[in-house]
Copies of this chain bind each other. A is one copy, B any other.
């Protein structure tokens, strides 16, 4: 059976524009919070039955056109050998950050089957639970985004440590990026082998970089990932998505990533983005997540604006321009999805 999400990824005609939301298995859902109240965040990532339960919630509750594995981009660097903590009311923390060439050498490239078996088990269980209703998206963080957490020791406002490493110790930086890239390729291919029908690479902090630094020292690693991903499994084509947030100023270059789909954040008009990419890739996005805090009639109007900005051509996956925020009323998320159903009918 052809799924409209996968059809859109490959720029094939669809009956209506498919829609899912980044962080759709998240805190804005009371059903998610009920599970979260019983488990730590890392437990939820590491217990396949829990990850499965929350991954499936938005499929049943909201009727989105794709499921995305419940996990975290920092599961992979933890498996590379550095301790990861999530403290309540803090972001993620790596108490012993990666700062030196010796720190980088100590990192190992995980074997996903051995080191993160719970992720692959979750994918198999989710597929059992989905029973073919919608495709399942796997994911990983992009090398710079993951490395920035590893080097800064957590979230950062100015990325001072990783930028200093990139400028003052380019060999160490490149060695780290290479290791994270190797790990990411094995990780995503294992997710595909376990049953993911699409994979998304999240480059949340790409936009923190100077253009030259991104293009010369970060983007080649991204390209290597897409060149190395499994593109077919059992005769089924695997869709690949690259989401570089804040990269609108060099979007014409991002087209060369090698992904089937580019995620677009809410700051770059989709029509503008299409002018840049032409027929080369599909586009995913890009309603401003803050819109979901406005009244439903505003949400409906803005959904229409996003659909109109892309136009009628194939190759649009409707999504937010970044993750849904915890304060969004579920009824507002539903209003968005219903509006995509109503205004996104094609053919």
A159 at interface, CB cutoff 8 A: yes
- Residue A266, interface by CB 8 Å: yes
Q: Which residues of B contact A325 (CB under 8 A)?
A: 158
If the complex has contacts A248-B249, A272-B211, are A163 and B291 also in contact, measured as CB distance less than 8 A? yes
Does A268 interact with chain B (Cβ within 8 Å)?
yes
Task: Please determine whether A267 and B289 come into contact, CB atoms closer than 8 angstroms.
Answer: no
Cβ of A117 to closest chain B Cβ, rounded Å: 36
Q: Which residues of B lie under 8 Å from residue A208 when comparing CB positions?
A: 267
Interface residue from B158, B168, B250, B290 paired with A159 (Cβ < 8 Å): B290
Q: A55–B304 Cα gap in the complex (Å)? A: 50
Contact A246 B267 (CB under 8 A): yes
Which of A79-87, A135-143, A231-239, A293-301 contacts the other chain?
A293-301
Please give the distance in Å from A108's CB to the nearest CB on chain B: 29
Docked Cα-Cα span, A266 to B159, in Å, equals: 13
A254 to chain B, nearest CB (A): 11
Kindly list chain B residues whose C-beta atoms are within 8 Å of the C-beta of A269: 210-212, 250
CB within 8 Å of B: which A207-238 residues: 207-212
Q: How large is the interface on A (under 10, 10 to 19, 20 to 34, 35 or more residues)?
A: 35 or more
A294 to B168, Cβ gap below 8 A? yes
- Report how far A291 CA is from B164 CA in the complex, Å: 7
A309 interface residue per 8 A CB criterion: yes
| A155-176 Cβ-contact flags toward B at 8 Å (1 or 0) | 0001110011001100000000
Closest to A165 in B: B294
- A167–B298 CB distance below 8 A: yes
- Chain multiplicity (copies): 2
- Which of B158, B291, B293, B294 is A290 in contact with, Cβ under 8 Å? B158
Taken residue by residue from 62 to 105, chain A's Cβ proximity to chain B (1 for < 8 Å, 0 otherwise) reads as: 00000000000000000000000000000000000000000000
Contacts of A272 in B (CB 8 A): 211, 249-250
Nearest-CB distance from A329 to chain B (Å)? Answer: 13
User: A305 an interface residue at 8 Å Cβ cutoff?
Assistant: yes
A338: B residues at CB distance < 8 A: none
* Segment 289-334 of A: residues with Cβ below 8 Å from B: 289-291, 293-295, 298, 302, 305, 309, 321, 325, 327
Q: Is A193 close to B, CB under 8 A?
A: no
Would B298 and A168 count as touching, CB distance under 8 A?
yes
Shortest Cβ distance from A288 into B: residue: B210
User: A28 at interface (Cβ–Cβ under 8 A)?
Assistant: no
Chain B residue at smallest Cβ distance from A276: B249
With a cutoff of 8 Å between Cβ atoms, the chain B residues found around residue A294 in the complex are: 163-164, 167-168
Task: Check B163–A210 contact: CB distance below 8 A.
Answer: no
User: Does A251 sit at the interface, judged by CB under 8 A?
Assistant: yes
Query: Could you pull out 29 A-B pairs where Cβ atoms are within 8 angstroms?
Result: A158-B290, A160-B290, A163-B288, A163-B290, A163-B293, A164-B298, A167-B291, A167-B298, A168-B294, A168-B298, A207-B246, A207-B267, A208-B267, A209-B267, A210-B267, A210-B269, A211-B268, A211-B269, A211-B272, A212-B269, A212-B309, A246-B267, A248-B249, A249-B249, A249-B251, A249-B267, A249-B268, A249-B272, A250-B272
Residues in chain A within 8 A of chain B (CB atoms): 158-160, 163-164, 167-168, 207-212, 246, 248-251, 266-269, 272, 288-291, 293-295, 298, 302, 305, 309, 321, 325, 327
